[in-house]
């Protein structure tokens, strides 16, 4: 385990993460701290990053570290329990390939259930598009799925520098553009 983000192509990114059964296990707390360290280091280097799934740093557990207002710093065993009928296209970015964006389609809103580090079950209802796309992306990581697997449309991959240079044109190609936090 490391707090270094694994690059796309790392075999473990394709593995399905295991459910956490004991929230009091010292390894779970250690891994939660590693997720926080990884987010902080990545944001310091790249200037973006709102969440990280444990498999992105080589931890094969169903954990997501978050850097979002009004959310816990870590959620365990997150599960989508409702999906809107509406879908949206967006340019997805990922810590595993920080220089690329991928056009994908996701549900415009989802509701999730998850365990907190306290062992209690929580539910977040009808998430905003920003939270919804992010949670879907991170849950994909827990299931061994990358944004590249969800690529849609013609020319669905763009280098971040090209995107930033032509941001207006790329924004017109999708329904929603996540804002970095």
Specify the DSSP element, H or E, that contains 152: none
Active site residues: 138
Closest alpha carbon to 160 in 113, 93, 99, 117: 99
Spatial separation of the C-alpha atoms in residues 38 and 118, rounded to whole Å: 22
**Helix ranges, the chain (H):** 26-46, 129-142, 160-165, 167-171
Spatial separation of the C-alpha atoms in residues 150 and 80, rounded to whole Å: 17
| Pair 32, 53: CB distance under 8 Å | no
């Amino acid at each position: 385990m490391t707090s270094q983000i694994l690059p796309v192509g790392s075999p473990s990114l394709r593995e399905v993460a295991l459910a956490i059964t004991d929230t009091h296990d010292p390894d779970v707390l250690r891994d939660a701290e590693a997720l926080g360290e990884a987010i902080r280091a990545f944001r310091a280097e790249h200037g973006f990053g709102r969440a990280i799934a444990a498999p992105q740093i080589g931890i094969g557990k169903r954990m997501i570290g978050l850097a979002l207002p009004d959310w816990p710093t870590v959620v365990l065993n997150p599960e989508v329990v409702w999906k809107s009928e509406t879908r949206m296209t967006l340019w997805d970015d990922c810590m595993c390939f920080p220089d690329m964006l991928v056009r994908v389609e996701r549900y415009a809103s989802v509701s999730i259930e998850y365990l907190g580090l306290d062992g209690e079950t929580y539910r977040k209802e009808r998430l905003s598009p920003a939270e919804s796309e992010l949670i879907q992306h991170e849950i994909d990581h827990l299931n061994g799925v990358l944004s590249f697997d969800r690529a849609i449309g013609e020319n669905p991959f763009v280098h971040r520098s090209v995107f930033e240079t032509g941001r207006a044109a790329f924004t017109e190609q999708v329904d929603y553009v996540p804002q970095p936090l």
